[in-house]
Chain A
Amino acid sequence: MQRMACSFPDEVLEHVFSFVQCDNDRNAISTVCKSWYKIERWSRRRVFVGNCYAISPGMVIRRFPELRSIELKGKPHFADFNLVPDGWGGYVAPWISAMAAAYPWLEEIRLKRMVITDENLELIAKSFKNFKVLVLSSCEGFSTEGLAAVAANCRNLRELDLRESEVEDLSGHWLSHFPDDYTSLVSLNIACLGCEVSFSALERLVGRCPNLRTLRLNRAVPLDKLANLLRRAPQLVELGTGAYSSELRPDVFSNLSGAFSGCKELKSLSGFWDVVPGYLPAVYPICCRLTTLNLSYATIQSPDLIKLVGQCQNLQRLWVLDYIEDAGLDAVAASCKGLRELRVFPSDPFGPEPNVLLTEQGLVSVSEGCPKLQSVLYFCRQMSNAALMTIARNRPNMTRFRLCIIEPGTPDYLTLQPLDVGFGAIVEHCKDLQRLSLSGLLTDRVFEYIGTYAKKLEMLSVAFAGESDLGLHHVLSGCENLRKLEIRDCPFGDKALLANAAKLETMRSLWMSSCSVTFGACKLLGQKMPRLNVEVIDERGPPDSRPERCPIEKLYIYRTVAGPRFDMPGFVWTIDEDSAMRLS
C-alpha cells in the first residue's frame, strides 16, 4: 500500500495546508486520511457556522482546538421582516462561555442575527487577550454599556462593526472608554447607533489611529464636524457620513470640499441622512474613485442623483432609493460601466400608489448598459415578462436576482399573465444564479422552471406564489444545490414536504409561514428524521390543541448534529424520535 501521503513530516503538511483557506477545501483535506484529518483540525484557524443550532459549541471546540476566528448565524433570514417572534432564540451566550474557556487566543467573532447581551460582551472583553475583530450584524440584546467594556479592555481591537444591530443607547460616553494609548483601530461602524457619541472622544480616537481605513458614523454626527474628522484621517478608504444637512454656508461647504479632496484613498461612501442637495458637490472631487456608493437613506431627487452618479465612472456597487427613477437608472447605465451590484429600495413602500417614476424600464436599462451586473435587489410596482426576458438575455452572468413587486400577486402589467415565463427566463439564461427572490403573480409553472434550470441555486425566497404542492415539489426535487428555502403565504402543504424529506437534510434550513403544513406532517418529519430539528412556531397555543389537519403558523426546519435545542420559548414546539411533543 502506498504511503505517499504520510511521507512528509507533519510540519510540512501543516505548512502546505496553511495556504488553503477556503472552508470547502479544508473540509476536503480532512477526509483524505486520518493523519491529514488530525493535522488539519489542529491547524484550522477559522470556522463558519451557518446555523448556530446545527452544532454545539462543545463539538466545535473538540474538533478544532486552535481556532482564532469564528462566525455564527442565528435567526432565520425572515426575522429581518418581523416574521420570527421575539424570544425565538439565537443566543450566543453558550458559545461565548465555552470559547472563553477553550480559546484564550481567539481573535475574531462575527455574528449575524444573534442575541448578545452586555454580559456576553464583558466576557469577550475579559477573556480574549488578543481580541481583534467584533462584527455584530443585525444583532440585538446589548447596550452601549457592553460596548464600553469592549472599548476599555480590548487593547488590540482592530474592528468594531455594529452593522444594523439594535443597540440600547444608554449613553454616548462608551467611546471615551478607549484608552488614550489605544491606537490600533482599523474599522469602526456605529451607523446604527441613535444617540450622540462624545464627539471630542471620537475626534481624538480618529486622530490617534493611523491605520483607520473604515469609519461609518451615525446620524447624530453633524455635517459641520465632518471636515475635522476627515482631516484627521485622510487615509480613509470607507466613510459613512452622519446627517448630511446644514444651513448652506460657503465656509462650511469649502471646508468640507477641501477635506474630501484630501482623502485620496476614499473608495466607499454611505450615510447621507437628511441630505441637503446643495452640499452634494462637496464630494464631486472624489466621485471618480468611488467603487461603492450607498445612498439608500438619501432622500434626494432624480436630478441631483443623476449629477452625482454621472461622475462615478468606476462605481461597482450602488444602493439607492427609488427616487432615482428610470431616468436616473438610464444615467447609471450610461456612466457606470463597471457596475456589479444594484439595489433600489422603495421610498414609500406602504403608499397605495406609486410616488416615483420608477418602473421595470430602469432595471432593463441597467441590464443593457452594465455588462458586469451580477447582483440585483429591486423594488418596484410593475413588471412584465418581456422585461424579465430581456434582462435574462442581457445578463446571463447574473448570480443574485431579487425582485420585489410591492403588491403581492401583481401580474405582467402588459398582458395580465402570471410572471412565470419571465422568471423562467432568468433561471434558464443565468446558469450561475445562486440567489433568487420571486414576487408578483406566479403559478406552479415558475417552480417547474426553477426546478428544471436553477441547478446552481442556493437560496430561494418565495412569497404569495404557487398553486399547489407541485410547486414546492419541483423546487425540492430539482434544485440540487439548494441550501436555504424560505416561503411565506403560499399554498404548499404536507405532500411535497414529506415526499422530499431526505432533501431537507441536504439543506441548511427551510422556513415556511402562513402555508398549509399540518401539525401531523411536522410530527411525522420530526419522528422519522432524527437529524432534522422540526420547529413549529405557533403563538396560538399548543399545536395538539387543534385538529391535526389545521395548518400551523410557522415552520422552521434545519439539519443538525446537536439534537433538539433546550432554549426554546413557549411558542416553539419540536418533535423528536420518541414522539413526545417537546417543549424546552
Chain B
Amino acid sequence: MELQLGLALPSNPTQGFDLNFYGCESKEGMVSDSCYQDTNDINDKKRGFDQTSSENAADSATAVPRTLSLLLWNNHPNEEDDYPKDLENHSFFTPKEDDGDGDGLVGWPPIKYSRRNKRVCDENNGAVVENGYGCGGRGSNSTYVKVKMEGIPIARKIDLSLHQSFETLTETLMDMFGQWWLETGHKDSNEYKLVYQDWEGDWLFTQDVSWRTFIRSVQRLKLMKSSG
C-alpha cells in the first residue's frame, strides 16, 4: 500500500529528485486502502500547485510557495545594527503578517524559563535576580537591549546595567533619539511611552511595573507614540 502523489516535479537543477520514487509505503499495512482511493483530489491540488510553481522554477531550486521567501541572514533591510550578526533578527522566513513587532525570536535559544535572565544584577542593593543568577565575578555581563523608537527606522542598543530607575533610562533614551526629534519636529518626550518585551514575548508598559520586575525580564524596548 502506498501513498503517492503522482507528481512530476519540475526538473531540479541540483538534485534529480522525483517524489514518485520516494512514494511512501505504509509498513505493516496499518492504513487501509480507503484513505487513498481518492488520490485525484491530492493530485489535482498538487498539480495546480506545481503548475504555478514551475513558472517560477527559475526563482528557486525547488518549488517553494510564493508566499515565502528565504531571507538572507546577514542583511536586514530595515535596521542598521551595531553588530554584524544580530541574534534577534535572524529569520529564514518573512515575519508573520500581523506580527507588527516582526523581530524577536520567541523561545530561542531553547532554554527553560528557570535558566533565563542570568545577566542582570542589581548591584546597588545587592539583590540578585529571582532565578538565582547573581552576577558572576566578570564585569562583562552583557546587559544591552535593543531599543526602537516608533517612526525611526534605525534601532539602537542601550546598556541597562548603567541604570537603576526608569527616570535615568528614559532620559538616556531621549538623548539617544534626540537628534531624530529635531529633524522630525517632535520635541515633547511626553508624547512617547516606553514599552518593553519580556522573556515570554509579551509587550508591556513600563509604567505598569516596578523597576525590579522590569529589569528581571526585559528583552527589548520600544518607544511608542502615546495615542490621543
Contacts and interface: CB of A to CB of B under 8 A. Distances in A.
Taking each of B42, B65, B116, which has the highest tally of chain A beta carbons within 10 Å of its own beta carbon?
B65
A355 B92 contact: no
Interface string B83-113: 1011100111100111000000111111111
Given A350-B119, A505-B30, A553-B96, A491 B64 contact: yes
Interface residues of B, number: 77
Taking each of B25, B142, B144, which has the highest tally of chain A beta carbons within 10 Å of its own beta carbon?
B142
Interface stretch (A42-50, A75-83, A250-258): A75-83
B5 interface: yes
Nearest to A548: B45
Contact of A489 (B91, B98, B118, B135): B91
Contacts of B31: 502, 505, 529
A529 B3 CA distance: 12
A249 interface: no
Interface string A295-331: 0110111000000000000000000010100000000
Contacts of B82: 352
Given A353-B142, A467-B61, A540 B22 contact: no
Given A82-B201, A463-B108, A518-B65, A499 B24 contact: yes
B46 to A, nearest CB: 7
A467 to B, nearest CB: 7
B10 to A, nearest CB: 12
Given A274-B134, A495-B46, A502-B30, A80 B62 contact: no
Nearest to A243: B132
Interface string B152-164: 0000010000000
B83 A491 contact: no
A301 B138 contact: yes
Contact of A499 (B23, B45, B61, B63): B23
Counting chain A residues whose Cβ lies within 8 A of the other chain, the interface size class is 35 or more
B132 A348 contact: no
Interface stretch (A145-153, A406-414, A568-576): A406-414
Interface stretch (A1-9, A32-40, A469-477): A469-477
A499 B9 CA distance: 13
A493 B17 contact: no
Contacts of B141: 348, 351, 355
Contact of A551 (B23, B24, B68): B68
Given A80-B110, A524-B41, A550-B67, A499 B22 contact: yes
Contacts of A300: 136
A219 interface: yes
Contact of A297 (B49, B61, B132, B142): B132
A501 B3 contact: yes
A447 to B, nearest CB: 12
A345 to B, nearest CB: 6
A350 B217 CA distance: 12
A490 B157 CA distance: 29
B204 to A, nearest CB: 15
Taking each of B5, B133, B136, B138, which has the highest tally of chain A beta carbons within 10 Å of its own beta carbon?
B136
A323 B136 contact: yes
Contacts of B140: 355
A513 B201 CA distance: 16
Contact of B24 (A404, A502, A528): A502
A227 interface: no
A273 interface: yes
A164 interface: yes
Given A82-B201, A379-B109, A464-B92, A349 B116 contact: yes
Taking each of A245, A348, A516, which has the highest tally of chain B beta carbons within 10 Å of its own beta carbon?
A348
Contacts of A362: none
A349 B109 CA distance: 7
A409 B130 contact: no
B110 A301 contact: no
A537 to B, nearest CB: 13
A506 interface: yes
B142 A520 contact: no
Contacts of B70: 467, 491
Nearest to B36: A528
Nearest to B87: A407
B151 to A, nearest CB: 25
Contacts of B7: 495
B65 A493 contact: yes
B30 A352 contact: no
A549 interface: yes
Contact of B110 (A299, A463, A499, A500): A463
A300 B138 CA distance: 10
Contact of B62 (A351, A461, A469): A469
Interface in A532-584: 540, 549-551, 553
Interface string B14-49: 010101001111110011000110000110011001
A489 B138 contact: no
A170 B1 CA distance: 58
Contacts of A498: 3, 5, 42, 46
22 contacts: A82-B106, A138-B112, A273-B132, A300-B136, A345-B111, A346-B111, A346-B118, A351-B141, A356-B138, A379-B109, A409-B90, A464-B91, A468-B64, A476-B24, A490-B92, A491-B93, A499-B4, A501-B24, A502-B3, A502-B26, A524-B42, A549-B67
* In the complex, the 8 A-B pairs of residues with the closest C-beta atoms, listed nearest first: A351-B142, A81-B107, A502-B26, A273-B132, A468-B62, A408-B90, A299-B136, A409-B73
Interface of B: 1, 3-5, 7, 15, 17, 19, 22-27, 30-31, 35-36, 41-42, 45-46, 49, 60-65, 67-68, 70, 73, 82-83, 85-87, 90-93, 96-98, 105-116, 118-119, 128, 130, 132-138, 140-142, 144, 157, 199-201, 219
Interface of A: 78, 80-83, 138, 164, 192, 194, 219, 243, 245, 273-274, 296-297, 299-301, 321, 323, 345-353, 355-356, 379, 404, 406-410, 441, 461, 463-464, 467-470, 473, 476-477, 488-491, 493-495, 498-503, 505-506, 514, 516, 518, 520, 524, 528-530, 540, 549-551, 553
Given A296-B115, A408-B105, 17 more contacts: A81-B108, A82-B199, A301-B136, A349-B111, A350-B87, A351-B141, A407-B85, A408-B87, A408-B91, A463-B110, A464-B91, A477-B22, A498-B42, A499-B19, A501-B24, A502-B24, A551-B68
